[in-house]
Structure 1
Amino acid sequence: MTSVAGKPERFASLDMFRGATIFLMIVVNTAGAGTPFTQLVHAPWIGFTLADLVYPSFLFAVGNAMSFALTRPMPDGVFLRRLFKRAALIFLLGFLMYWFPFVTHDADGGWSVKPFAETRVTGVLQRIALCYLLAGLLARYLSPKWLLVAAVALLGGYWAVLVGFSPPGEAFGRYRNAGTLLDLWLIGPNHLYHKDHGFDPEGLLGTLPATVNVIAGYLAGLAIQRWGKHAATVARMMAIGAALILAALLLAPVFPIAKKLWTGSFVLLTVGLDMILLGAVIWLVEIRGARVGRAFLQMLGRNPLAIYLFSELLVVVLQLIHVRRGVGLYDWIGETWFQALAPGPVGSLLCALAYTLVCCAFGWMLDRRGIILKV
Structure 2
Amino acid sequence: MTKRLLSLDVFRGITVAAMVLVNDPGDWGNIYAPLEHSKWNGCTPTDLIFPTFLFIVGVSIVYSMERKAAEPANHAAMLWGALRRGLILIAISLGIQLILHPGFEHLRFPGVLQRIGLVFIICALLFIKTSQKVRDWLFAILLIGYYMLMSFVPVPDTHVASLDPETNMGAWLDRLVFTTNHLWSESHTWDPEGLLGTLPAIATGLFGIRVGTWLKRKDRDDATKVSWMFFYGILAVVSGLIWDMFFPINKALWTSSFVLYAGGWSTIALAASYWLIDVQGRTRFTTFFLPFGMNAITAYVLSDFIPHYINKIKLGSSTLYQILFQPYLSPKNASAAYAIIMTLLIWVVMWILYKRRIFIKV
TM-score (norm 2): 0.92
Tell me, in whole angstroms, the C-alpha distance in 2 between the residues paired with 1:207 and 1:240: 24
Within 5 A, what are the aligned runs for 1:1-375? Answer: 7-33=1-27, 35-73=30-68, 75-102=74-101, 114-163=102-151, 164-166=153-155, 167=158, 170-226=161-217, 230-321=222-313, 332-375=319-362
Tell me, in whole angstroms, the C-alpha distance in 1 between the residues paired with 2:282 and 2:25: 30
Contact 1:229 1:287 in 2 (8 A): no
Tell me, in whole angstroms, the C-alpha distance in 2 between the residues paired with 1:229 and 1:124: 36
Deviation at 1:346, TM superposition (A): 2.6
1:220–1:176 CA distance, 2 compared to 1 (3 A):
same
Counterpart of 1:106 in structure 2 is: none
State the one-letter code of the partner of 1:122: P
Deviation at 1:143, TM superposition (A): 0.9
SS state of the match for residue 146, structure 1? helix
Tell me, in whole angstroms, the C-alpha distance in 1 between the residues paired with 2:350 and 2:292: 6
Tell me, in whole angstroms, the C-alpha distance in 1 between the residues paired with 2:54 and 2:209: 10
State the one-letter code of the partner of 1:160: M
Deviation at 1:196, TM superposition (A): 4.7
- Structure 2 residues without counterparts, runs of 5 or longer: none
State the one-letter code of the partner of 2:116: I
Tell me, in whole angstroms, the C-alpha distance in 1 between the residues paired with 2:2 and 2:214: 12
SS state of the match for residue 339, structure 1? coil
Tell me, in whole angstroms, the C-alpha distance in 2 between the residues paired with 1:299 and 1:101: 25
Residues 164-185 of structure 1: CA deviation (Å, up to 9, x unaligned) = 1424555211001111111101
Residues 326-365 of structure 1: CA deviation (Å, up to 9, x unaligned) = x7xxxx3333323333313232222111101111111112
Residues 276-301 of structure 1: CA deviation (Å, up to 9, x unaligned) = 11111122212332122223322221
State the one-letter code of the partner of 1:94: S
Tell me, in whole angstroms, the C-alpha distance in 2 between the residues paired with 1:90 and 1:127: 9
Tell me, in whole angstroms, the C-alpha distance in 2 between the residues paired with 1:196 and 1:53: 25
1:196–1:131 CA distance, 2 compared to 1 (3 A):
farther
SS state of the match for residue 255, structure 1? coil
State the one-letter code of the partner of 2:199: L
SS state of the match for residue 222, structure 1? helix
Tell me, in whole angstroms, the C-alpha distance in 2 between the residues paired with 1:374 and 1:204: 26
Tell me, in whole angstroms, the C-alpha distance in 1 between the residues paired with 2:279 and 2:55: 22
State the one-letter code of the partner of 1:212: A
Tell me, in whole angstroms, the C-alpha distance in 2 between the residues paired with 1:200 and 1:58: 19
Tell me, in whole angstroms, the C-alpha distance in 2 between the residues paired with 1:165 and 1:140: 36
Residues 194-234 of structure 1: CA deviation (Å, up to 9, x unaligned) = 43542111101111111111111122111111166622222
Residues 137-181 of structure 1: CA deviation (Å, up to 9, x unaligned) = 111111112111111111122222223142455521100111111
TM-score (norm 1): 0.89
Contact 2:123 2:202 in 1 (8 A): yes
Contact 2:243 2:257 in 1 (8 A): yes
Tell me, in whole angstroms, the C-alpha distance in 2 between the residues paired with 1:284 and 1:75: 35
Of 172-181 and 358-367, more deviation after overlay is shown by 358-367
1:182–1:270 CA distance, 2 compared to 1 (3 A):
same
Of 134-143 and 50-59, more deviation after overlay is shown by 134-143
Tell me, in whole angstroms, the C-alpha distance in 2 between the residues paired with 1:88 and 1:137: 14
1:31–1:186 CA distance, 2 compared to 1 (3 A):
same
Residues 98-133 of structure 1: CA deviation (Å, up to 9, x unaligned) = 22224xxxxxxxxxxx32121111111011001111
Tell me, in whole angstroms, the C-alpha distance in 2 between the residues paired with 1:18 and 1:362: 17
